[in-house]
Structure 1
Amino acid sequence: MHAHIIIWIIPFTLLGGILSALVASILLLFSEQVRTALLPRLVSFSIGALLGAAFLDLLPEAMHAAGPERVQGIGLALALGVLGFFLLEKLAFWHHGHGSDELDTEAHPDRLRQKAVGTLIVIGTGLHNFLDGILLGASFLTDIRLGVVLAIAVIAHQIPQQVGDISVLLVAGVSRGRALLLSALSGGT
């Protein structure tokens, strides 16, 4: 039925994973000071790419598909999404550092800390990338041009995400090689 669409989805998905892992591995060659200076710029670029794709392509496509009689529902969904993420962020910062389930690094060996951080990165980023894949698939099924635009935005978003994941792993004491491996595992979902 949509077999010709898969020809578009698979290469763009693979390109995103490979390109982000490649750029992240190149950034591993730089000092921590350089990586720390580059990360905010990469994150800003990533945010710009995602917002551009959302507001210039996804939102107009959703409004067109909904039709004039249901466009208010699209606006309401957008507002609820922004509000939901705002509340989630506030809740995360409110709870951050106040829980009893924090990992006591003095009572646990470094190996346990590395394993915990590595597991969280792989699971969290893997889930995130899985959802990116669903969004990409849906966008390609809607319109190939929309899929290509969104794929480019997701690829731009993946690069700082991979660099951020690797940075967190390095700070947790994971070796550069293992950090790259864990990042590649999570990026491959």
Structure 2
Amino acid sequence: MKLADTEHTTRSWRIHEIAGDFDLEDVWALETPGGPDDFAKLVKQFSSGNFPDGAPLIVRALWSLRWKLGALFRLDGRDSGLDTRVGSLRDRLPENLRDTPTGPDEDWLPFTPLYRLDDEFAAEMANRTMHGVMHIAWVEDGRGGYRGQMAVLVKPNGLFGRTYMGFIKPFRYLFVYPALMRMIAREWQNS
């Protein structure tokens, strides 16, 4: 379920110290009911998930089209990513976050993990259109339990990046996010 931005901005997440100059694109409640110690399970699920392969055909098609257009327009080359076009946010980490685990052992491509705490995880990616952060958190659900929450933060790369982000927004809301949310809930329930 889509949440108000304040569900992310009013919490004292460490990501605010690191990516304060990024735009908050989206905040989502994840259907991942659990207890106070289940956050590591959620982070592991994200890294070993079946997206986009397990998503509906329309989402797989959009994802495939995005990667093909990315190759055609050279949006995702080595010279457009982290430590080439933009520096990694790892360089901004406060000293007390630099030695935290960065995530599970699974491959997070295209994301690069930044840090992981008991209730917060962040990973970044960059290409010619933007520098983005996926922030996953573990929050009390108001009914005595906990659930996951996902926020997407971006720093568009100039006018082209802002135009691109505006262009893909309807596709994210109509197809990608609903499929992703259903898949996260299904995988959580089956684990």
Q: Which has the higher helix share?
A: 1
TM-score of the pair, normalised by structure 1: 0.29
Q: Which has the higher contact order (CA 8 A, sep 6+)?
A: 1
Q: Which has the higher strand share?
A: 2
Which structure has the bigger radius of gyration? 1
